[in-house]
Amino acid sequence: MNRFDLTKRLVARLKAGEAVIGGIGNTNFDLWAAGQRPENFYMLGSMGLAVPIGLGVALAQPARKVFVLEGDGSLLMQLGSLGTVAAVGPKNLVIIAFDNGMYQITGKQKSLTAGTVDLVATAKGAGLAQSEWATDEAHFERLVDRALGGRGPWFIGAKIDASKPAGVTERDPGLIRRRFMAGILPNS
């Protein structure tokens, strides 16, 4: 599967102002390229913090679904956060892990998921019972639909290819934050 294609499929299914947190690097670049929704937050640094940031948003706004898009390298940096999400148990949080088994942006060095680490098994082991690998694009869409309609937290893993991202996020942190807050806070 391909990250940009899956990101477009996800965004096409978001009809209720769902928040999306795009993890550092190619993950948020493809989210940006898939269309700049006001409810999107793009991480330009703080590798590994997409899940905690998404958890914070989900806690503050329990009526809004929150999607976290993260790469394998980033998630590997903060595996404890999966246990935190399981402990808190936010019904409105969905974590999507794009796994190409490499640090694609720094020169395609292999990550641990190219070897022994299975992110879905790790998520399950952390206590996220509703964790599953998407087997193809149609299955990915069904998993997203199930997460949109049901009680989370959810963890969806997707094995992706090594294609380059379809765009590059505009690098203005202040603007990203203000747009995101205007997009998800009614009175800001």
The contact set with another protein (CB under 8 A) reads 19, 21, 41, 43-49, 51-61, 64, 78, 80-81, 83-84, 87-88, 173-174, 176-177, 180-181, 184-185
CB nearer another protein, residue 54 or residue 152 = 54
CB nearer another protein, residue 121 or residue 182 = 182
In whole angstroms, how close is the CB of 173 to another protein at the nearest point? 4
In whole angstroms, how close is the CB of 125 to another protein at the nearest point? 14
String of b and e for 13-34 (b: at least 16 CB within 10 Å)? ebeeebbbbbbbbbbbbbbbbb
Q: Can you say how many angstroms the Cα of residue 135 is from the centroid of all Cα atoms in its chain?
A: 17
In whole angstroms, how close is the CB of 32 to another protein at the nearest point? 16
User: Is residue 69 classed as helix, strand or coil in its secondary structure?
Assistant: strand
Give the CA radius of gyration of the chain. 15
